[in-house]
Chains A and B, each alone.
Chain A
Amino acid sequence: EDKVVQSPLSLVVHEGDTVTLNCSYEVTNFRSLLWYKQEKKAPTFLFMLTSSGIEKKSGRLSSILDKKELFSILNITATQTGDSAVYLCAVEARREGQNFVFGPGTRLSVLP
């Protein structure tokens, strides 16, 4: 059965700290891995990763994929209170139907 595991499930840090969120997966016919940020509403898209070892960056956020070890990390540097959210990892499988499997998310709280 396909599954996506995220760790930690929750994390509390102070502004300015750097955090690393983890996502590991077991999916048949992997196609891509996506990170979403979810605040008090629907998830918003952050990154899509398809190739190992290529870092994607957007401001203070960056992410990388390891297809050999089947995991991805999401880094946030110099955290701000506005980074407080649930960060979801989803894996896309190359098949019809239930293409996307989501992890439970990591709830990040950034304290001032």
Chain B
Amino acid sequence: DSGVTQTPKHLITATGQRVTLRCSPRSGDLSVYWYQQSLDQGLQFLIQYYNGEERAKGNILERFSAQQFPDLHSELNLSSLELGDSALYFCASSVEGLVSYEQYFGPGTRLTVT
């Protein structure tokens, strides 16, 4: 158990809909990362938040957005869903100090868009 929690575990929804995925980082970790895992694209970085502020963006679609709240939990919002958005979405957290880049992943949310 990495200490990172994600809810829900599974999500099935229809095209055009909007969903919210939730992540709670390990105790003490200030940084949260979101990754998407699909068979064709592999594991891809979406976005990073550090202590409530956006730190870096990767291959995140404009239909997707995220935020990190004062209690450090994070939410990933996916809107106008398309079939191609079906994937595993992982959250990872790290201390984000000067030395450590170690990221610990949660169990993921499997999103199925029908």
Same complex origin of A and B: no
By a beta-carbon cutoff of 8 Å, the part of chain B in contact with chain A is: none
Q: Which residues of A contact B (CB under 8 A)?
A: none
